[in-house]
Chain A
Amino acid sequence: MTLIKKIKKDYFNSPLNSILTLLVIFLLTKVGIWFVNWAFINAVWVGDSAAVATKNGATWAFIVNKIRFFMFGFFPKDQIWRIIVAIVLIAMSMIPYFIKGIKYKIFIFAGHMLLWPLIIFIMLSGGGIFEKVSTNDWGGLTLTIILSLLGLLYSFPIGVVLALSRRSELPVIRGLSIAYIEFFRGIPLITILFMSSVVVPFFLPEGVAIDKIVRVVIGMTFFQSAYLAEVIRGGLQAIPKGQYEAAESLGFRFGLQSYLIILPQVFKITVSNIGGISISFIKDTTLVLIIGMFDLLGIVNPLASDSNWLGMEPEGLIFAGIVYWLICYSISRITDKAEDKLNTLPESGDKK
């Protein structure tokens, strides 16, 4: 009864609102029915070429046939286990973060900065142990994950250093930090990507070739660290002066003061912002398609250019969109969880 009353009060409280409500319901059903028809009822799930496509339904057979490429790019089929092992190793290396007793998790983080590229180099590239696979063949979701993971991993410490430097009392350090941050925030990511793919090869000395993927990760790290620095600086400014003074009166030096007292509070305040810019960073990695790298989004075009599967771009793009949504939504949920868990600041009230 109350529900009906509530609906009546909220959606049918005047003739105009009633009409609008009905109109919206009508449009939603219309689009909904069309979409369900297209995506499910008339959809084709099996087939070997675009010949199985129907005019009114999606051809998910394209995704089914090409799923390997969406996930692993053009990595040789018999070597795909290496990617899976690499992902498992990287996931396992994160376990120490969740073990309560371990102190100095900063060392684990530092370890990851060495370990992850090593894992990726050995398992994916071959690293002299396995058959060499050119980075040219990396692609799909794998490439998206590699770019995001490495970019976020390295931008974090650089961002912290930049944020601390920007609040330094020494003018040279502050100036350099400001220059760096404003420079990289002032140019679009796409410019950095073009520079790294088109210009940098000319500047390298003869015989030295830095892989495109490394150049791109470095460029993206520069970019992301500038943004991260500003988020962390925001957090630093929110820490009451008393915290610094208390730390000093207890005899903490600058390093320990930052590490033990200031930064933990900063991360508590900024965790949702960090989550936010991480999500936008993951979406920014799609820009690499401009420089001929096939991440999850970029691989749709070559796959839909297979002359057996012409005209399958909509299905490919929708699939890529769904995967991106899943990734970004999970990160958003994780950030929310982390925020709840870390939310122990006194001003938030209910301390546990």
Chain B
Amino acid sequence: MKRSLNKKIMSLLSISVILVLLSSCSGKSTGSTENIDAAPVTKTAKSTLELVKERGKVVVGVTAGVPGYSAPDSDGKWQGFDVDLAKAIAAAVLGDAEAIECRPLSAKERFTALQSGEIDVLSRVTTWTASRDAGLGLNFAGVNYYDGQGFMVSKDSGIKTLADLDGATIAVQAGTTTELNLSDYFRKNGMDFELITFEKNDQASAALEAGRADAVTSDQSQLYALRTKFKNPENFIMLSEVISKEPLGPVVRQGDDEWFDIVKWTLLVMVNAEEYGITSANVDEMKASSQNPDVKRILGVEGDIAGGFNLGKDWAYNIIKQVGNYGESFERTLGKGSPLQIDRGLNALWTDGGLQYGIPVR
């Protein structure tokens, strides 16, 4: 009798433990169905700008390590082209380029992290597409890198253009859109090719290095990183043409236009600064003595553009002083100042035949 009573008490205890566990899961899920709809817009009543100022830090979503774009340096600090953009935003908003917190995200998590308000801006080699822009409650704030599927060939092969690839043996990573793009392109142009597929990009590029393939194809930014692993990288070149469009850029939450504008114009100011020749080295001098009204407006000497963004007068000055202009950032992280040695290509200024076009600051 006594035993069964105690047994009942014990059982009641264990059942209550289980019930508490279960209810804590289910209670949350039922209580916030409306939050799922509301989340993509903005989760908090405060604007992102207010939150960032309050926190004193810009929280940015980055990759879990892509050479040149975002990767930890020898001190464990995240550096790279995408991180530079986040630094520029921090310089504009807070006046301190180092006031950022990098949140490494996997490809699957990145949009959720932005929608749920965990990060302020996503700067993570993310391709701008219509379905993402319209369907996910996000806004793409520009293009900081025009990527595309390209080809790497050996210098001695004499291949200069895509047309020369007719009949070539091409190495590619299996089961990717890269492979589909490749066969689509060759079929469309009535060209012949032989395909060798590999499990990983590393192996595909190794086939080129070993002479098994005439060319290897992948996103251009990837090919540059693969090339650095070669024994003689200088013997291999990138064809300048691309067969797909992969515009990469920063992403923000939809519904906060003020923050959207800040991110968009941070990038544009960097491009403008390069157009007008303002660099981190000469920005003080330019600010003090430049007679060019465009430069004066950018640097806040004339007019009150910053006021429209709710930012301090020095916002653009801080970006250029602390991070540099677009070209400086590019060369430091991806270009001549880095082991990747990526050519400007499509990312050159429009005046140099590229696509980077500084929308006027006035």
When distances are taken between beta carbons in the complex, the residues of chain B under 8 Å from A207 are: 44
Quick check: is B229 within 8 A (CB to CB) of the other chain?
yes
Is there contact, CB below 8 Å, between A197 and B74? no
Interface of A is mostly: helix
> What is the CB-to-nearest-CB distance from A141 to chain B, in angstroms, rounded to a whole number?
15
Q: Beta-carbon contacts of A232-273 to B below 8 Å, as 1s and 0s?
A: 000000000000000010000111000000000000000000
When distances are taken between beta carbons in the complex, the residues of chain B under 8 Å from A289 are: 64
Q: A205-B32, A254-B6 are in contact. Are A302 and B72 (CB under 8 A)?
A: yes
Which A161-179 residues have C-beta < 8 A from chain B? 161-162, 164-165, 168-170, 172-173, 176-177
Among candidates A199, A253, A301, residue contacting B65 with C-beta atoms closer than 8 Å: A301
Q: How many A residues have CB within 8 A of the partner chain? A: 56
Q: A201-B112, A203-B35, A291-B106 are in contact. Are A134 and B101 (CB under 8 A)?
A: yes
Interface of B is mostly: mixed
> What is the CB-to-nearest-CB distance from A16 to chain B, in angstroms, rounded to a whole number?
36
Is there contact, CB below 8 Å, between A306 and B72? yes
Is there contact, CB below 8 Å, between A294 and B228? no
> What is the CB-to-nearest-CB distance from B336 to chain A, in angstroms, rounded to a whole number?
13
- Bound-state Cα–Cα, A77 to B65, Å: 20
Is there contact, CB below 8 Å, between A253 and B2? yes
- Bound-state Cα–Cα, A209 to B118, Å: 9
> What is the CB-to-nearest-CB distance from A173 to chain B, in angstroms, rounded to a whole number?
5
> What is the CB-to-nearest-CB distance from B220 to chain A, in angstroms, rounded to a whole number?
16
Is there contact, CB below 8 Å, between A201 and B339? no
B15 and chain A: residue at smallest CB distance: A173
Is there contact, CB below 8 Å, between B6 and A255? yes
When distances are taken between beta carbons in the complex, the residues of chain A under 8 Å from B44 are: 206-207
When distances are taken between beta carbons in the complex, the residues of chain A under 8 Å from B101 are: 134, 136
Is there contact, CB below 8 Å, between B18 and A180? yes
When distances are taken between beta carbons in the complex, the residues of chain A under 8 Å from B99 are: none
When distances are taken between beta carbons in the complex, the residues of chain B under 8 Å from A304 are: 65
Quick check: is B188 within 8 A (CB to CB) of the other chain?
no
Quick check: is B307 within 8 A (CB to CB) of the other chain?
no
When distances are taken between beta carbons in the complex, the residues of chain B under 8 Å from A69 are: 72, 76
> Which of A5-13, A92-100, A109-117, A307-315 is near enough to bind chain B?
A307-315
Is there contact, CB below 8 Å, between A305 and B14? no
Among candidates A137, A170, A308, residue contacting B339 with C-beta atoms closer than 8 Å: A308
- Bound-state Cα–Cα, A68 to B73, Å: 13
Is there contact, CB below 8 Å, between A307 and B18? no
Is there contact, CB below 8 Å, between A202 and B72? no
> What is the CB-to-nearest-CB distance from A308 to chain B, in angstroms, rounded to a whole number?
7
> What is the CB-to-nearest-CB distance from A204 to chain B, in angstroms, rounded to a whole number?
7
Is there contact, CB below 8 Å, between B74 and A65? yes
Q: A202-B32, A205-B32, A254-B7 are in contact. Are A306 and B17 (CB under 8 A)?
A: no
Which A199-240 residues have C-beta < 8 A from chain B? 199-207, 209
When distances are taken between beta carbons in the complex, the residues of chain B under 8 Å from A58 are: none
Is there contact, CB below 8 Å, between A290 and B71? no
Q: Beta-carbon contacts of B226-253 to A below 8 Å, as 1s and 0s?
A: 0011010000000000000000000000
Quick check: is B67 within 8 A (CB to CB) of the other chain?
yes
When distances are taken between beta carbons in the complex, the residues of chain A under 8 Å from B39 are: 202
Q: A292-B105, A294-B64, A302-B64 are in contact. Are A74 and B8 (CB under 8 A)?
A: no
Is there contact, CB below 8 Å, between A292 and B67? no
Best-surrounded residue of B3, B75, B76, B112 (most CB of chain A within 10 A): B76
Quick check: is B129 within 8 A (CB to CB) of the other chain?
no
Which B26-41 residues have C-beta < 8 A from chain A? 28-29, 31-32, 35-36, 39
Which A24-67 residues have C-beta < 8 A from chain B? 50, 55, 65
Which B256-301 residues have C-beta < 8 A from chain A? none
Quick check: is B66 within 8 A (CB to CB) of the other chain?
yes
Quick check: is A342 within 8 A (CB to CB) of the other chain?
no
B118 and chain A: residue at smallest CB distance: A201
Quick check: is A198 within 8 A (CB to CB) of the other chain?
yes
Among candidates A55, A165, A307, residue contacting B67 with C-beta atoms closer than 8 Å: A307
When distances are taken between beta carbons in the complex, the residues of chain A under 8 Å from B65 are: 301-305
- Bound-state Cα–Cα, A307 to B22, Å: 47
Is there contact, CB below 8 Å, between B112 and A302? no
> What is the CB-to-nearest-CB distance from B2 to chain A, in angstroms, rounded to a whole number?
7
Is there contact, CB below 8 Å, between B32 and A204? yes
Is there contact, CB below 8 Å, between A255 and B228? no
Best-surrounded residue of A161, A177, A289 (most CB of chain B within 10 A): A161
Quick check: is A298 within 8 A (CB to CB) of the other chain?
yes
Residues of A within 8 A of B (CB): 50, 55, 65, 68-69, 73-74, 77, 134, 136-137, 161-162, 164-165, 168-170, 172-173, 176-177, 180, 194, 197-207, 209, 248, 253-255, 289-292, 294, 298, 301-308, 310-311
What are 8 contact pairs spanning A and B, CB under 8 A?
A69-B76, A74-B76, A136-B104, A137-B76, A168-B14, A176-B22, A255-B6, A308-B73
Q: Which 9 A-B pairs have the closest CB atoms?
A: A305-B65, A302-B65, A305-B71, A311-B229, A201-B116, A74-B76, A253-B6, A292-B106, A254-B7
Q: 13 additional contacts, CB 8 Å, given A205-B35, A254-B7, A289-B64? A: A137-B76, A170-B11, A176-B18, A176-B19, A197-B109, A201-B113, A202-B112, A255-B10, A292-B105, A294-B104, A307-B68, A310-B229, A311-B228
